[in-house]
Structure 1
């Protein structure tokens, strides 16, 4: 993933659309690049010109398994990934509220004696709840902390 483009964009307080306009690209192209898709040389040169940086700083580095990962870079990558998941959840929740509101009105106008909309609210609500649990991870019963505690308990010593 090319987090350097997203990082430079965010440091300037630009939206993806603003970067796309400045670089003469589509917003969808910027979205794809920030999500990890490869970009053409021309596209990367356009973005580099906007940011006034050397083109080579935007080229993805070849993956080398022997190269240690910088903890700061890993932390930034995790933060960017979390923000993408969070944005996806908020979009999902907004769609839920909008569509359910419309369906409630339609149900009450057309057949108020039969509340079929409750099935939609419940079914989609379960999906939204599972999305929230995946993004916010409130349940850590069997997460990494629990796993580490169990290993240390089994070993009888800290790792």
Structure 2
């Protein structure tokens, strides 16, 4: 295996590791969202069931959770990923030029 092949394997492993870490991060975020909003719902029902204020943080946080989901699962490939890879290659070339 050449140095380039070894480098590509290492890069692919590190990239896969980051992708898995991002997915785990999203799942943690989702679990916390469900637990906290269930508690807010319970508090709302016990204290003042006339005004459903728990819907405000549920909706706001839900929008943020949707953005997190899209970032982790949707914007992963295609044009964005190709752009990201080109930017990394440009930075690597700059760094190699300094040596």
Whether TM exceeds 0.5 here: the answer is yes
Q: Which residue of 2 aligns with 1:109?
A: 46
| 1:131 aligned residue (51, 60, 68) | 68
Structure 2: how far apart are the matches of 1:105 and 1:79? Answer: 39
Aligned residues: 80
TM-score, normalization by structure 1: 0.45
Compared CA separation, residues 139 and 114, structure 1 to 2 (3 A)? farther
Give the aligned partner of residue 73 of structure 1. Answer: 10
**Deviation, structure 1 residue 143:** 2.6
1:27-46 residue pairs with structure 2 within 5 A? none
SS class of match (2:65): helix
Q: CA deviation at 1:140?
A: 6.1
Map 1:6-155 onto structure 2 (within 5 A): 70-137=7-74, 142-144=79-81
Of Structure 1 and Structure 2, the greater helix share is in: 2
1:11 aligned partner: none
Shift of 1:86: 1.0
TM-score (norm 2): 0.70
Relative contact order, CA 8 A, sep 6+: which one is greater? 2
Gaps of 5+ in 2: 84-99
Give the superposition deviation at 1:139. 8.0
Worse-superposed segment, 89-98 or 131-140: 131-140
In 1: Cα distance, 2:33 partner to 2:62 partner:
8
Gap regions ≥5 residues in structure 1:
1-66, 148-159
Supply the RMSD in Å over aligned alpha carbons. 2.3
Compare CA radii of gyration and give the structure with the larger one: 1
How much has 1:113 moved relative to structure 2?
1.0
